[in-house]
Structure 1
Amino acid sequence: MNLLNPANRWLRLKRRDGSVSPGSVYGVADPEVVDVLAPRADFRGALYQLLIGLLQTAAPPGNLNDWLGYWNEAPSAAELEIWLAPLKPAFELIGDTAFMQDRDPLQDGNVKSTAELLIDTGSDSNLFFNKLADWQGLCAGCAAQALFALQINAPGGGVGHRTSLRGGGPLTTLVLPKDADASLWRKLWLNVLPLDGEGADWRAEPPLSAKLPWLAATRVSDKSGVETLPEDVHPAQAYWSMPRRIRLDVDDVAAGVCEVCGETHDTLYRQYRTRNYGVNYAGPWQHPLTPYLFDAKDPSKPPLSAKGARAAGGYRHWLSLTLGENDNEKVARVARDFNRIGGKADRLKLRGDARLWCFGYQMDNMKAEAWRDATLPLFRLQSGDERHFGEAARQLLEVARQSSLMLGEQVKKARNMDKKEPAVEQSFWQRSEALFYQAVEGLAKAPQLDAAAQAQVFAAWLPPLRRLVSDLFDYWVLCAPIEEMDMPKVVAARADLRRGLWWSKHHKAMGELIARYQGESDEAIA
């Protein structure tokens, strides 16, 4: 099967009327198609990255005006086919240059079940499947998705089994229109980078194998091998990184029901061959779809990719993922490209109508613990003052974090527990989310973000936040059996919590700012 053959309808495309039907990659240009679906959450995230990677590799816009032209009018399926024609030979699932597979047939490699291409089963966490003895295999479409999802997310797999270019379990962040029924084309195109905003290396035209590593002999990384640095290949290889040496076994196939999609196929792939010491991506790689953390004490150290677990953090990570909370954090390049002055948000007047889709595996070394998936709102700043907006949002988060910690600690004391109950702090983050985004929206809509404007937003936010913390304390303490309550401890803990809500560092600073500009004492604000 060739993934770029128009006759191969291996994708499931959702249309605006709600219907779902098979389609080829060229269906993404249809304005009536609004989404691509998959039988697994990680496959859906992988498909979005695959389609974005295709567009970025085959037809990157030269500048923002070029980009805007195709935002306003998507290419036809025929035009898209012309764009992708040079890549077509590289997207055969079987053959000498098989998609996401080693050029070497790996005849002497270890033989494994294709079940282990799935990150959750391959890591022994077994979240989705528990009857591997009855494993029938994967159809061609699901095998392609499994290969791609594993290669771009690969966790550690033992000696010489390399992690992905972004390390194990990376977080992916994509900018999407707020409207869920926006066309799939626009959802993808928002994450394609104009080349004039990138370095000269992006505009270079080396052999295609510098972008698609399975077209060349593997850069092995054993004792006599090499590391692969950004300067060794084209930067677009970030979309197609291939750390694992894998070849599907085409001799062990059978008809049956695919274990993932549940559909009957004439050919199911049951096994694959593998060998260690594949491509070892080293150095300062930065994937365009992932945020990174930098070492403030040693700028020469390669950046660390954000991990999938951060998608489970709710709004506590909102600022770091959308704008960057400090100088040591860099949001994903696609988010920077969207947010920058004169960038896509400004040209489209879209920032208030967009969101950031964050997803990835939460890993414990080699073990997949959970799949995390969340969307965060993006806001268009009426003031255009990103610096003061970020500082004010950071103050909101500092108060929220302090509130969460105090709530957990005082509930622990009141209930005489040995350690804090994680559900207590989690309840705060869930219940306070709407309040936080209301406050951030208020900052975004302010014509200017001087101290007086910030104080006005803080004054509307802080009192209900304090009441919420007190209410949650009462809930978590009173839910304990009455015979287990030590009322003097309960009373003392509640008093300590109230003191903290007014006099702890960040609460006090915010309260004083409000009082200075609102003309009321902090106690009166409560």
Structure 2
Amino acid sequence: MNLLNPANRWLRLKRRDGSVSPGSVYDAADPEVVDVLAPRADFRGALYQLLIGLLQTAAAPGNLNDWLGYWNEPPSATELEAWLAPLRPAFELTGDIAFMQDRDAKLEGNAKSTAELLIDTGSDSNLFFNKLAGWQGLCPGCAAQALFTLQINAPQGGVGHRTSLRGGGPLTTLVLPENADASLWRKLWLNVLPLDGEDAAWRADLPLSAKLPWLAATRVSDKSGVETLPEDVHPAQAYWSMPRRIRLDADDVAAGVCEVCGEAHEVLFRQYRTRNYGINYTGPWLHPLTPYLTDPKDISKPPISTKGGRAVGGYRHWLSLTLGENDNEKPARAVWDFNRQRGKANKLKQAGEARLWCFGYQMDNMKAEAWRDVTLPWFGLASEDQPHFVDAARQMLEVARQSALMLGDGVKKTRNMDKKEPAIEQSFWQRSEGLFYQAVERLAKAPQLAPAAQAEVFAAWLPPLRRLALELFDYWVLCAPIEEMDMAKVVKARADLQRGLWRAKPHKIMGERIAQYQGASDEAVSQ
């Protein structure tokens, strides 16, 4: 099967009328197609990345005007076929050259069940799709999705079994239109980068094998091998990183029902061959769809990809994922580019009408603990004053973090707990999320973000946040049997919490800002 053959309708596409039907890669430009579906959540995230990677590799716009042209009028299926024609020979699933598989067609290595291509196989996780008993195999479409998903997310796999270019369990963040019925084309194209905003390496005239690593001999990374730095290949290889040496066993196939999609197929792949010491991506690699963290104490260290577990943090990570909370936290390149070139300029009329889709595996070394998936709002700035907007949002987050911490400490002391109960602080983040986004939206809509305008927003945010912390303290304390309570300790802990909600450093600073610009005392504002 060739993934880029128009006759191979291996994708499941949702149309504007709600119907779902098979389709090819070229249907992604059809304005009536609104989504690509998959039998597993991790496959769906991978398919979005595969389609974005195809466009970035084969049809990257030269500049913002070129980008806007295809935003307003997507290519026809014929035009899209012409764009992808040079890549088509590289997307055969089997054969001498095989998609996301080692260049050595006769790879010698360990034989494994294709069940092992699934990252969650054998994990004690919350994943509903963890299935092993009576394994029949994977159909060609699911095998392709499993290969791609594993290669771009590869966790630690034992000696010489390399992790993905982004490390194990990376977080992916995609900018999407707010309207869920926006065309799939627009959802993909929002994350394709114009080349004039990238460094010269992106425009380098290198062979296709520098972008698609399975077209060349594997850069083996054993003792006599090499590491792969960004300057060794084309930066677009970030979309197609291939750390694992894998070959589907095309001789061990059978008819049956695919274990993932549940459909009957004439061909199911039951085994693959693998060996260690594949491509070892080292150095300052930056994947355009992933945020990164740098070590403030040692800026010479390569940045570290943000991990999938951050998708579950609620709004506590909102600022770092959308705009970057500080100099050590960088949003994904595609997100940064959207903020800089499209959102800020408002050329797309997208202000307040976008969202950030964040997803990835939460890993514990080789073990998949959970799949995390969340959508966060994005706000266009009426003032275009990003520095003051970020500063104000950061202050609110500091207040929220300190409030959650004090709440957890107070309940722990009152109930004589050996350690904190994570659900207590989590309840605060969940209950206060609406308050936070209401405040951020007010900041975004403000025509200017002078200190007085910020203080007005803080005045609407701080008092209900304080009341919520005290309300949750009462709730969690009363969860314990009353006969086990030391009421004197309860009263003291609540008073300490109330005092902290006024006197802790971030709360005090915000309260003083409110009083300064509204002519009221902090105590009066809090009522």
TM-score of Structure 1 vs Structure 2, range by shorter chain:
over 0.9
Query: 1:127 offset after TM fit, Å?
Result: 3.8
Query: 1:131 offset after TM fit, Å?
Result: 5.4
Aligned residue for 2:467? 467
Provide, for residues 444-502 of structure 1, a one-character-per-residue CA deviation record: whole Å limited to 9, x for no partner. 11111111000000001111111111111111111211111111111111100100010
Aligned residue for 1:448? 448
Query: 1:126 offset after TM fit, Å?
Result: 8.7
- Which whole-Å CA distance do the structure 1 matches of 2:16 and 2:108 have between them? 49
Aligned residue for 1:160? 160
Aligned residue for 2:134? 134
Aligned residue for 2:506? 506
Provide, for residues 135-165 of structure 1, a one-character-per-residue CA deviation record: whole Å limited to 9, x for no partner. 0000000000000000000000000000000
Are 1:212 and 1:237, in contact at CA under 8 Å, matched by a contact in 2?
yes
Are 1:410 and 1:497, in contact at CA under 8 Å, matched by a contact in 2?
yes
Question: What 5-or-longer segments of structure 2 have no aligned partner?
Answer: none
Query: 1:347 offset after TM fit, Å?
Result: 1.5
Query: 1:202 offset after TM fit, Å?
Result: 0.5
Aligned residue for 1:145? 145
Aligned residue for 1:260? 260
Are 2:230 and 2:283, in contact at CA under 8 Å, matched by a contact in 1?
yes
Query: 1:418 offset after TM fit, Å?
Result: 1.5
- Which whole-Å CA distance do the structure 2 matches of 1:164 and 1:417 have between them? 40
Aligned residue for 1:114? 114
Are 2:125 and 2:370, in contact at CA under 8 Å, matched by a contact in 1?
no
Query: 1:297 offset after TM fit, Å?
Result: 2.3
Identity across aligned pairs (percent)? 84
Letter in 2 for 1:32: E
Are 2:344 and 2:380, in contact at CA under 8 Å, matched by a contact in 1?
no
Aligned residue for 1:320? 320
Are 2:99 and 2:214, in contact at CA under 8 Å, matched by a contact in 1?
yes
Letter in 2 for 1:190: L
Letter in 2 for 1:70: Y
- Which whole-Å CA distance do the structure 2 matches of 1:342 and 1:2 have between them? 35
- Which whole-Å CA distance do the structure 1 matches of 2:477 and 2:13 have between them? 49
- Where does 1:9-28 land on structure 2 (aligned, <5 Å)? 9-28=9-28
Aligned residue for 2:515? 515
Aligned length: 526
Query: 1:442 offset after TM fit, Å?
Result: 0.8
Is 1:49 the counterpart of 2:71? The answer is no
- Which whole-Å CA distance do the structure 2 matches of 1:116 and 1:125 have between them? 15
Provide, for residues 59-113 of structure 1, a one-character-per-residue CA deviation record: whole Å limited to 9, x for no partner. 0000000000000011111111111111000000001110000011344210000
Aligned residue for 1:245? 245
Letter in 1 for 2:360: G
Letter in 1 for 2:442: G
Are 1:154 and 1:169, in contact at CA under 8 Å, matched by a contact in 2?
yes
CA 344–249 in structure 1, closer or farther in 2 if over 3 Å, else same: farther
Are 1:120 and 1:128, in contact at CA under 8 Å, matched by a contact in 2?
no
Letter in 2 for 1:277: Y
- Which whole-Å CA distance do the structure 2 matches of 1:124 and 1:243 have between them? 25
Aligned residue for 1:349? 349
CA 494–124 in structure 1, closer or farther in 2 if over 3 Å, else same: closer
CA 429–483 in structure 1, closer or farther in 2 if over 3 Å, else same: same
Aligned residue for 1:184? 184
SS of the aligned residue for 1:496 comes to helix
- Which whole-Å CA distance do the structure 2 matches of 1:351 and 1:463 have between them? 29
Letter in 2 for 1:489: K
SS of the aligned residue for 1:182 comes to coil
SS of the aligned residue for 2:168 comes to coil
CA 179–129 in structure 1, closer or farther in 2 if over 3 Å, else same: closer
- Which whole-Å CA distance do the structure 1 matches of 2:178 and 2:107 have between them? 49
Is 1:373 the counterpart of 2:373? The answer is yes
Provide, for residues 204-229 of structure 1, a one-character-per-residue CA deviation record: whole Å limited to 9, x for no partner. 12111000000010000000000000
Is 1:524 the counterpart of 2:513? The answer is no
Aligned residue for 1:86? 86
- Which whole-Å CA distance do the structure 2 matches of 1:217 and 1:342 have between them? 39
Are 1:115 and 1:122, in contact at CA under 8 Å, matched by a contact in 2?
no
Aligned residue for 1:62? 62
Letter in 2 for 1:321: L
Are 1:121 and 1:127, in contact at CA under 8 Å, matched by a contact in 2?
no
Letter in 2 for 1:272: Y
CA 234–123 in structure 1, closer or farther in 2 if over 3 Å, else same: farther
Query: 1:357 offset after TM fit, Å?
Result: 0.5
- Which whole-Å CA distance do the structure 2 matches of 1:72 and 1:342 have between them? 13
- Which whole-Å CA distance do the structure 2 matches of 1:482 and 1:519 have between them? 43
Provide, for residues 230-289 of structure 1, a one-character-per-residue CA deviation record: whole Å limited to 9, x for no partner. 010000000000000000001110100000000000000000000000000011100000
Query: 1:301 offset after TM fit, Å?
Result: 1.1
- Which whole-Å CA distance do the structure 1 matches of 2:252 and 2:368 have between them? 28
The more displaced of 257-266 and 475-484 is: 475-484
Provide, for residues 17-70 of structure 1, a one-character-per-residue CA deviation record: whole Å limited to 9, x for no partner. 111000000111110100000000000000000000000001000000000000
Query: 1:351 offset after TM fit, Å?
Result: 3.1
Query: 1:330 offset after TM fit, Å?
Result: 1.1
CA 309–279 in structure 1, closer or farther in 2 if over 3 Å, else same: same
Aligned residue for 1:477? 477
The more displaced of 474-483 and 184-193 is: 474-483
The more displaced of 366-375 and 341-350 is: 341-350
Provide, for residues 280-337 of structure 1, a one-character-per-residue CA deviation record: whole Å limited to 9, x for no partner. 0011100000011112222221110000000000100000000101111111000111
Letter in 1 for 2:496: D
Is 1:274 the counterpart of 2:271? The answer is no
Are 2:323 and 2:336, in contact at CA under 8 Å, matched by a contact in 1?
yes
- Where does 1:388-403 land on structure 2 (aligned, <5 Å)? 388-403=388-403
The more displaced of 443-452 and 47-56 is: 443-452
Give the TM-score of the pair, scaled to structure 2: 0.98
- Which whole-Å CA distance do the structure 1 matches of 2:420 and 2:100 have between them? 46
Letter in 2 for 1:191: N
Aligned residue for 2:308? 308
Aligned residue for 1:283? 283
Aligned residue for 2:419? 419
CA 344–190 in structure 1, closer or farther in 2 if over 3 Å, else same: farther
- Which whole-Å CA distance do the structure 2 matches of 1:93 and 1:342 have between them? 37
- Which whole-Å CA distance do the structure 2 matches of 1:397 and 1:27 have between them? 42
Letter in 2 for 1:443: L
- Which whole-Å CA distance do the structure 1 matches of 2:379 and 2:26 have between them? 32
CA 318–455 in structure 1, closer or farther in 2 if over 3 Å, else same: same
Provide, for residues 187-210 of structure 1, a one-character-per-residue CA deviation record: whole Å limited to 9, x for no partner. 000000000000111011211100
CA 391–22 in structure 1, closer or farther in 2 if over 3 Å, else same: same
- Which whole-Å CA distance do the structure 2 matches of 1:391 and 1:107 have between them? 54
Are 1:120 and 1:126, in contact at CA under 8 Å, matched by a contact in 2?
no
Are 1:139 and 1:267, in contact at CA under 8 Å, matched by a contact in 2?
yes
Provide, for residues 1-21 of structure 1, a one-character-per-residue CA deviation record: whole Å limited to 9, x for no partner. 000011101000001111100
SS of the aligned residue for 2:320 comes to helix
Letter in 2 for 1:186: R
RMSD across aligned positions (CA): 1.2
SS of the aligned residue for 1:432 comes to helix
Are 1:106 and 1:274, in contact at CA under 8 Å, matched by a contact in 2?
no
